[in-house]
Structures are given as C-alpha cells and as structure tokens.
C-alpha cells in the first residue's frame, strides 16, 4: 500500500541525514562462482574500490541462498554454471527471498550461455557480464574488469533509488538537508531507508520542438537493461518495421547479438539479424550491430548499405551507438528517428547531436523506467531530445511519429 506522509522539518532533517549516511556506505556485493581463481580475483577488484565491498564469496547457488540473510548483499554476481545449484536455478529463489536484490549474471561467451543469460534477464536479472573463457583471460582482461565494476556500481546505486555520482562531483551531506518540509511518498515494502530520498540538485532538461520531417528510418541505441526494453518496443511497432528499416546497436559481445537477433525475430514477427558488410538497408527488416564490431551506414551508388567496422572501442563500447547515429545522420539526414534506451555511460550523445543537426528527431527513455539512466540521461541533459518517455509509451510515440503526428 502506498504511504504518503507529511514530514516535519526535524523528521525531514533526520531522513536526509540518514540518506546522506547511506550514500557514504559502500555497495554490498556477493560473488557466487565455483572457480576459486575468479572469486579471489573479483573480490580483490571489488574491495579495491572505496564505494564497493565484498560481503560474501561463495561456490554454489545453494551457498548464496543459505548466506543471503546473514550477509545482506545489495548486488549478487551470479555465475551461470555451478555445481549443486546453478545460476539459473538459484536466480528465482534468490529473488523470491529478496525481490529488490540486484543480480548480475556472469557467464562465458558460448551460445548456450548466451541463451541462458538472455533468459535470465526475462526472469528478473538486472544485467549480465560476459566472462573470458580462461583464467588467464579473466586475469588480463581490462574490459571485463571495467564492465564488472561499473555495472556493480551503477546498478547498486540504482537499487538504492539513487543515481551514481562520481566522487569528484558529489554534493556534501549538508546539501542534502531540506530547508523546508517535504513529502515522502511510496515507502517500499521491505522498509529500507533508501526509499526515503532528499531532493537532488540537477541541471534543467529542456526539450526541443519536433522537427517537421516524417521519419523513414528508426535507429535505437541501448545498453544495460536494453534487451528487455527492445523486446517491449519491437513487439508493438510492427507497422513501423513494415515501412522502415530498424537499426539497433545494443552493447553486447559476439554470440550474444546472434541470440538477441533470433529473439527479436520471434518478438516482432519480422526478420532481425546481425548486419552484414555491404548489405542494402531495406524496410521491413531489423539490423543488429554484431557483437565486437561497430555498425555504420554509407551510401553506395545511391543505395544505403551496412558497413561493419572493426576499429577500436568507442566510449569503452564495441559496438558503440555513436558511429551508427553519426553515419545515419550523413546518409538519411532528417529522415532519422533515434531512440536512446536504458544504459550506462554517455554513448549515443554525440551521435544524437548529429541526428538533430541533420534535422532528425531524438527520443529518450525516462529515468523511472530505465535500469540505469546513463545514456538516455546524458542525451536528455545535452538538450537533444524532443521527448523523454516511460518505456511503455515509446512504441506508441514511434508509431505516431511515423504516421506524421508531431504532438
């Protein structure tokens, strides 16, 4: 039941102080993996971060269930393949005991594990991190370490109901204290103090007017939480896909994008596949940037074609959203409608700016419905968006824009 309480200044100050105190506490992390080398290495990485803390390092999913109440983690790193009780079997049981628990699946990049991991996202996992296949690769992979730490950090803060702010730009505790009474609304069932948040200072977001051109191409960029968001949208825009090409960059490794394409084909009822070098971009088809490659577009003899780029990572990402958006702005100009969905970081912001400069439009997913409001938040604060919408309203807006509605 929703609880609404008018809070007196003294109580409000106490709540704000509690929020500020919570903000100073490290995110509590449990790692569950049967490989002792991985557990030890990841534990050292996590404990080296001042805002993160390992509270349990365990071998099986059953151990995680047994230790959940005692260790009280906020984020669980859950391996897919383990003895006794594997990750997929443990996932629903952990969420049953602790619905607000953030679970990040960790698995090697095989077709089976990719299928299992994407299924885990539909069952409540917050995200996934692909794990190198050998212990040596785990030890030496800076990408794996970077992705793991950043996802723990951003998803952990999100589960506290707060956006991660880098230490250099954090407000002092005194800045969190309200100077007048405020209303606390929607206390969560588990009674955690993170449900009570003092107002946070933010720069104002200004929306642009919609450009007049009717879109003929749909571009989508997504990262953390993206597979679920893509499924929601593509299941509801069949009429748009029939009349326009859809190009997607989802931050994912090889094999995972193959499985994602197959899943989107089933969801949308339209063909979705990893883009192939030189193939023409046609209406009625969904093109997914292949894992480990950037997807761009170019015009050759008057026809728009896919260009697959094996250049360096951009914004720590490969594939990255910016190359797709920037090249589409050059090829299609005002025909582009770009959508930025949930994800960490700021990938897509520069490309969205080029879309707008070429006369196209940009939509972003709103903060409340995003797993992480990094990418859409960056685009919104950059002033590129004509609308910022909850996930369940984006498909409808896309359909109306392709029908010529500018409202």
pTM, to two decimals: 0.83
The DSSP code for 361 is E
- Check if the beta carbon of residue 342 is closer than 8 Å to that of residue 223: yes
- Check if the beta carbon of residue 111 is closer than 8 Å to that of residue 259: yes
272-311 residues labelled b (16+ CB within 10 A) or e (exposed): bbbbeeeeebeeebbbbbbbbbbbbbeeeeeebbbbbbee
Name the active-site residue from 63, 86, 347, 366.
Answer: 347
Q: Please list, in sequence order, all residues whose beta carbon lies within 8 angstroms of the beta carbon of residue 149, skipping any fewer than 6 positions away.
A: 45, 46, 49, 52
21-159: CATH, from 3.40.50.2300, 3.30.300.30, 3.90.650.10, 3.30.479.10: 3.40.50.2300
Q: Please list, in sequence order, all residues whose beta carbon lies within 8 angstroms of the beta carbon of residue 292, skipping any fewer than 6 positions away.
A: 253, 254, 310, 318, 319
d(CA 219, CA 239): 16
Q: Which of 330, 326, 333, 343 is nearest to 378 (CA)?
A: 343
Strand, coil or helix: what is 61? helix
The predicted pLDDT at position 203 comes to: 66
The predicted pLDDT at position 165 comes to: 59
Q: Which of 117, 135, 137 is nearest to 125 (CA)?
A: 117
The predicted pLDDT at position 142 comes to: 87
Asked if the domains at 21-159 and 217-402 fall in one CATH topology, the answer is yes
Per-residue tokens: 291: 């894992």
- Note if 223 is an active site residue: yes
Query: Taking the domains of the chain in order of start, what are their residue ranges?
Result: 21-159, 217-402
Per-residue pLDDT tens listing for the chain (407 residues):
444 444 455 544 554 544 455 567 999 999 999 999 999 999 999 999 999 999 999 999 999 999 999 999 999 999 999 999 999 999 999 999 999 999 999 988 888 889 999 999 999 999 999 988 887 788 888 889 999 999 999 999 988 876 665 554 444 333 333 333 333 333 333 333 333 333 344 568 999 999 999 999 999 999 999 999 999 999 999 999 999 999 999 999 999 999 999 999 999 999 999 999 999 999 999 999 999 999 999 999 999 999 999 999 999 899 999 999 999 999 999 999 999 999 999 999 999 999 999 999 999 999 999 999 999 999 999 999 999 999 999 999 999 999 988 66
Q: Write out the E strands in 289-345.
A: 294-300, 303-309, 336-340
The DSSP code for 11 is H
The predicted pLDDT at position 168 comes to: 45
Name the active-site residue from 57, 107, 223, 231.
Answer: 223
The predicted pLDDT at position 13 comes to: 55
The predicted pLDDT at position 186 comes to: 33
d(CA 264, CA 273): 9
- Note if 251 is an active site residue: yes
- Check if the beta carbon of residue 343 is closer than 8 Å to that of residue 226: yes
- Check if the beta carbon of residue 377 is closer than 8 Å to that of residue 367: yes
- Check if the beta carbon of residue 60 is closer than 8 Å to that of residue 33: no
- Check if the beta carbon of residue 128 is closer than 8 Å to that of residue 120: yes
- CATH code of the region 217-402: 3.40.50.180
- Check if the beta carbon of residue 62 is closer than 8 Å to that of residue 84: yes
Q: Which of 175, 221, 234 is nearest to 199 (CA)?
A: 175
The predicted pLDDT at position 357 comes to: 98
Give me the DSSP letters along 132-195: PSSHHHHHH-HHHHHHHHHHHHHHHHHHTTS----GGGPPPGGGGS-SS--EEE---TT--GGG
The predicted pLDDT at position 4 comes to: 44
d(CA 240, CA 283): 9
d(CA 154, CA 298): 35
């Amino acid at each position: 039941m929703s609880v609404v309480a008018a809070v007196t200044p003294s109580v409000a100050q106490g709540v704000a102080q509690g929020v500020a105190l919570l903000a100073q506490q490290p995110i509590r992390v449990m790692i569950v993996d049967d490989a002792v080398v991985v557990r030890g290495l990841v534990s050292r990485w996590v404990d080296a971060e001042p805002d993160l803390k390992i509270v349990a390092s365990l071998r099986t999913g059953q151990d995680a269930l047994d230790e959940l109440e005692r260790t009280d983690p906020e984020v669980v790193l859950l391996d897919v393949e383990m003895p006794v009780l594997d990750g997929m079997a443990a996932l629903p049981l952990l969420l049953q005991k602790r619905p607000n628990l953030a679970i990040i699946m960790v698995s090697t990049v095989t077709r089976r594990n990719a299928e299992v991991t994407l299924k885990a996202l539909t069952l409540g996992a917050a995200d996934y991190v692909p794990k190198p296949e050998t212990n040596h690769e785990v030890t030496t992979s800076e990408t794996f370490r970077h992705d793991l730490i950043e996802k723990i950090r951003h998803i952990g803060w999100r589960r506290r109901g707060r956006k991660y702010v880098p230490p250099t730009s954090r407000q002092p505790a005194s800045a969190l204290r309200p100077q007048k009474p405020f209303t606390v609304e929607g206390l969560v069932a588990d009674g955690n103090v993170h449900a009570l948040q003092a107002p946070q200072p933010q720069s104002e977001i200004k929306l642009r007017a919609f450009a007049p051109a009717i879109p003929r191409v749909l571009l989508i960029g997504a990262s953390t939480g993206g597979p679920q968001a893509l499924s929601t949208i593509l299941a509801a825009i069949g009429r748009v896909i029939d009349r326009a090409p859809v190009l997607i960059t989802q931050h994912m490794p090889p094999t995972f994008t193959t499985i994602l394409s197959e899943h989107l084909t089933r969801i949308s009822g339209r063909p979705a596949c990893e883009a192939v070098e030189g193939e023409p971009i046609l209406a009625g088809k969904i093109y997914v940037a292949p894992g480990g490659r950037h997807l761009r577009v170019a015009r050759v003899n008057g026809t728009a074609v896919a260009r697959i780029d094996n250049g360096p990572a951009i914004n720590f990402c490969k594939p990255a959203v910016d190359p797709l958006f920037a090249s589409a702005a050059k090829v299609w100009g005002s025909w582009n409608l770009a959508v930025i969905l949930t994800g960490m970081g700021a990938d897509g912001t520069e490309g969205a700016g080029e879309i707008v400069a070429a006369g196209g439009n940009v939509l972003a997913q709103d903060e409340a419905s995003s797993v992480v409001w990094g990418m859409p938040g960056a685009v919104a604060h950059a002033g590129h968006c004509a609308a910022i919408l909850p996930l369940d309203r984006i498909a409808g807006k896309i359909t109306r824009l392709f029908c010529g509605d500018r409202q």
